[in-house]
Structure 1
């Protein structure tokens, strides 16, 4: 087992480029990772990594060993996890990334039932509005939408990633409601900046017939949180564009209404994605299945569709 730990520390250090980054992923100290790699090198009789104060670099022997060891390590770890789970409860830390509001409203409510079924699993959930590097950052899974699937990952779709225009009933009653996308230019806009770029995206509306149109609203205010934008819209301050994930509670409560209900933005799909490993850790597989089944039971694919 010491040799296996040494191989894992070497592979993760080579992938991450430092002992410190590998240590964060493995739940060890950088010193422990370095010692495990040193023991492996001593056992093999070759130097695998060149150390410097700034970074690690693979030696020629290290490059060859990494090519041989990396895939086999993942397969072996998966086999061990599968075998261990077969005889008892799945266990271990489950590191998952998801957007703040989505995680709070749609995933955190599942915690009680999930932990009642799998009490030995320890959730380690990160709430952040960005796509993550599953392998490099050590995530078991992530949930998100509206971006390209990361390399080395597979996904299971949960619901459409649609965006819709919203306004308060009082706002729409006080002035002529837009009849066409061109009418939006006369209305106050509650605009939302993209978290990565800080800019306001140029979204394109489409309808069921395939027609497309730009969104041109008067800039009344700018925010970086869709929930805050919905609350501003509820005060009758203008029209906002948010994902149906954020829109659904307000639409079902009647506090906001759709503007141009035949038009929407198609940003792809909301999906749960995870490393493309033939033998996926049982804790990850069970979590993915649990979330997918919950979304199916709640009919979220239909409820979150703008069509």
Structure 2
């Protein structure tokens, strides 16, 4: 029996909660996973799972073995990383989660550069806008934009990103440019569909204003908002990384340039500070360096 393989399969089965989920992750079949776990139970001479029609539940011995096995696997991965680090070579799969727009617009190209520099690596870039549980979903690294983080979150603050009001010159020519925050309710405001309410907070030299906005168009994707604004659909509140190139080209201009919203923080989260594989460490270093060169990411404030 391949003990390490069996231990990895056992750990992920516990974390994912089912044989089928573990089988999908490892690209194999459910019977194969079941057979491997049965071999591990015979080898240990203990029952690791209670099996029922509702699924799998770790026994008391299974819970204890899960904690110990996870630690052993982390230590093994750290030992492998140490050896690989002597040659600078990295291999294996890295699963990365990120918000959809950030992944499509900024991270996709970055990942391609990283893969070109590390031919032994594989990367799964999983894009969605929900807050995933890194351990339960087998994610090695997760980019997070804005919002509060869980108290037990482990990671690195990468950048602080300015957020500003922008619109297309054609829209402003048609509707007029607001001269003060109080003028905004009379304009079409393009915003995220899932944003609660239509009130925005604006700041200028220590002064704060709360402004109600009216949105005829709401969409749950930042790239769609970017395109809608460039087409002249209205005024939007955007992070600088999303619109910096359009501002530089003149396709968008700042509205109320003396006013800004609260900045957006970018974090890179990982499941543990200890026993990070070489591939994880290399990507963290690479991503940190790359973001410092991209427009719209204020590294000085990070």
Structure 1 length normalisation: TM-score?
A: 0.86
Question: RMSD across aligned C-alpha pairs, in angstroms?
Answer: 2.6
1:243 aligns with 2:249: no
When residues 302 and 6 of structure 1 are mapped into structure 2, their CA distance, relative to the original with a 3 A threshold, is: closer
Q: 1:187 — aligned with what?
A: 187
- Counterpart CA distance in 2 for 1:240 and 1:85 is 46
Q: Does 1:290 align with 2:286?
A: yes
Instruction: Using the TM superposition, give the Cα deviation of residue 293 of structure 1 relative to its aligned residue in structure 2, in angstroms.
Output: 0.7
In structure 1, the partner of 2:155 is 155
Indicate how the Cα distance of structure 1 residues 215 and 230 shifts in structure 2: closer, same or farther if over 3 A, else same: farther
Partner of 2:49: 49
Q: Is the 8 A contact 2:203 2:262 kept in 1?
A: no
* Other structure's SS at 2:266 match: strand
Provide the rounded CA distance (Å) in 2 between the counterparts of 1:46 and 1:62: 8
The gaps in structure 1 that reach 5 residues or longer are none
Cα drift, residue 239 of structure 1: 1.2
Name the SS of the counterpart of 1:125 in structure 2.
Answer: strand
Partners of 1:126 and 1:22 lie apart in 2 by 17
Aligned equivalents of 2:295 and 2:185: distance in 1? 35
CA distance in 2, matches of 1:219, 1:115: 41
Contact 2:143 2:268 in 1 (8 A): yes
2:89 alignment partner, SS class: coil
Q: What is the rounded CA distance, in whole Å, between the counterparts of 1:301 and 1:234 in structure 2?
A: 21
Distance across 2 between alignment mates of 1:42 and 1:257: 68
Query: For residues 162 and 20 of structure 1, what CA distance do their matches in structure 2 show?
Result: 43
Query: What is the alpha-carbon distance in structure 1 between the residues aligned to residue 31 and residue 147 of structure 2?
Result: 37
Asked whether the 8 Å contact 1:159–1:301 carries over to 2, the reply is yes
Question: 1:75 — aligned with what?
Answer: 75
For 1:273-288, what aligned pairs fall within 5 Å after superposition? 273-288=269-284
**SS class of match (1:115):** helix
| Structure 2, unaligned runs of 5 or more | none
* 1:60-99 superposed matches below 5 A: 60-87=60-87, 89-99=89-99
CA distance change for structure 1 residues 293 and 71 in 2, over 3 Å: closer, same or farther?
same
CA distance in structure 1 between the aligned counterparts of 2:153 and 2:299, rounded to whole angstroms: 27
Equivalent position to 2:229, from 227, 233, 239? 233
114-123 or 38-47, larger mean C-alpha shift: 114-123
The C-alpha deviation readout for 1:131-172, integer Å capped at 9, x for no partner, is 222211112212221133357642222322443221112322
